[in-house]
Amino acid sequence: MSRQRKTVVSVVGARPQFIKLAPLAPVLDQRFRHRIIHSGQHYDYELSQAFFGQLRIPAPDIKLKVGSGSHGRQTGQILERSETALIKMKPDMVLVYGDTNTTLAAALAAAKLHLPVGHVEAGLRSFRVDMPEEINRTLTDHLSALLFYPTAAARDNLRREGITRGLTASGDLMYELLASVRPSLPEYAAVLNHFGLEKEKYILVTMHRVENADDPDRLRLFIDIARSIKEPILFLAHPRTIGNLRRHKLLGKLRAVPNLILGRPQPYFETLALAGHARAIMTDSGGLQKEACFLGRPCLTLRPETEWVETVTSGANTLVDLSPAKIHRALRRPPQRRARLSAAVGGRLPSRLITAAIERYLRR
């Protein structure tokens, strides 16, 4: 029986991909020989191993160890090394997740080997071609045989680009994971004490997108905004942001903001506990925008647009960019409505829907 099982390989490399893989891996394991390639795009303990450990994701079968680099170099190295790995593994299908350099590079390697690609979180668009993520997800969608789209807007984007075959309404694996762990979140509330925070009396901030983190003018603006907010801010800073603050000699200025606590990226459960008790969340992360809405916390998105348009139209999220006026207005009257979001589509969980669609495809 097990000899007849098809081989499905997941290629992951960055934090949000580990989160999507976590609820899917055990279900894939029941139906296929599921193997994991880790590109090494994220390698710090906080951004990688912490997630594998906490979310009980099976250890990667192959590590490509590419590390950081320019987009071309990182993408090129993942392309080359994942090709070698895929030739060795001979999978029946390759799954890629989201929109990072790992996503595009692995999809390209697989497509060139004539291996069918399944794209988890297909169809999202910011309509900003200057975003590396927009390039990665658009090209990946056009390379994919199976496209698992999480929202109606994502489906419409795909259709508009002429992609009409291989589509599955999968719902959102991030919601599935969050819904399943939610009962255990109170155990992690102690992390608030670690940062000296009180429930509902702080603002949780993350900011790591290239558009924000690599632009010294926007970093300066962010520091000024943080200073002007007269309540505790917990800023969980990504290494990219810290590196740029240091490079532009702005780290000292940030540390000098009296109401700001600078913290390192936190593991999954701790981040959710901090998000769940924040008065508001300010972020440029796609994942945290959704998690904020799912936890019923007001979200202010530090971008002029979002791929997750439903979070805005449902009233749970406000696009404030780095506009001091918009941020102060939104903090005075934070978005209140809970987004009515559900992990399931037609009563079925994303992990099951995705696995069933792959089975159908491989049975053809």
For 48, the token pair is: 């990688």
Q: Which of 6, 31, 43, 321 binds ligand UD1 (CB under 6 A)?
A: 43
Distance CA 293, CA 275 (A): 10
Interface of this chain with ligand UD1, residues 181 to 220, rule: CB under 6 A: 208
**Minimum CB distance to ligand UD1, residue 174 (Å):** 13
**Is residue 236 at the binding interface for ligand UD1, with CB under 6 A as the rule?**
no
3-state SS, residue 206: strand
Q: Which of 76, 132, 315, 334 binds ligand UD1 (CB under 6 A)?
A: 132
The closest of 20, 47, 16, 103 to 286, measured between CA atoms, is 16
Stretch that binds ligand UD1, among 27-35, 237-245, 270-278, 293-301 (CB under 6 A): 237-245
Interface of this chain with ligand UD1, residues 7 to 36, rule: CB under 6 A: 14-16
Is 212 within 8 Å of 222 (Cβ atoms)?
Answer: yes
**Is residue 44 at the binding interface for ligand UD1, with CB under 6 A as the rule?**
yes
Q: Which of 41, 157, 271, 317 binds ligand UD1 (CB under 6 A)?
A: 41
Stretch that binds ligand UD1, among 2-10, 88-96, 238-246, 347-355 (CB under 6 A): 238-246
Whichever of 78 and 353 has its CB closer to ligand UD1, that residue is 78
**Is residue 68 at the binding interface for ligand UD1, with CB under 6 A as the rule?**
yes
208 is catalytic: yes
Distance CA 167, CA 224 (A): 45
Angle at 270 (CA atoms; ends 267, 272), nearest 5 degrees:
105
**Is residue 133 at the binding interface for ligand UD1, with CB under 6 A as the rule?**
yes
Q: What is the DSSP string of 234-299?
A: EEE--HHHHHHHHHTT-HHHHHT-TTEEEE----HHHHHHHHHT-SEEEE--HHHHHHHHHTT--E
User: How far, CA to CA in Å, does 13 sit from each of 21, 77, 176?
Assistant: 11, 13, 20
Q: What ranges make up the beta strands (E) of 114-229?
A: 117-120, 146-149, 167-169, 203-206
Find the catalytic residue in 119, 208, 238, 277: 208
**Is residue 361 at the binding interface for ligand UD1, with CB under 6 A as the rule?**
no
**Minimum CB distance to ligand UD1, residue 243 (Å):** 5
Whichever of 98 and 166 has its CB closer to ligand UD1, that residue is 98
**Is residue 240 at the binding interface for ligand UD1, with CB under 6 A as the rule?**
yes
Is 41 within 8 Å of 66 (Cβ atoms)?
Answer: yes
Distance CA 40, CA 65 (A): 4
Distance CA 290, CA 310 (A): 9
Whichever of 18 and 149 has its CB closer to ligand UD1, that residue is 18
Cα of 246 vs its chain's centroid, Å = 25
Q: Print the binding letters for residues 96-115 with ligand UD1: x by CB under 6 A, - otherwise.
A: ---xxx--------------
**Is residue 291 at the binding interface for ligand UD1, with CB under 6 A as the rule?**
no
Report the interface residues with ligand UD1, using CB under 6 A: 14-16, 41-44, 47, 68, 99-101, 132-133, 208, 239-240, 243
Which residues are catalytic, by number?
A: 208
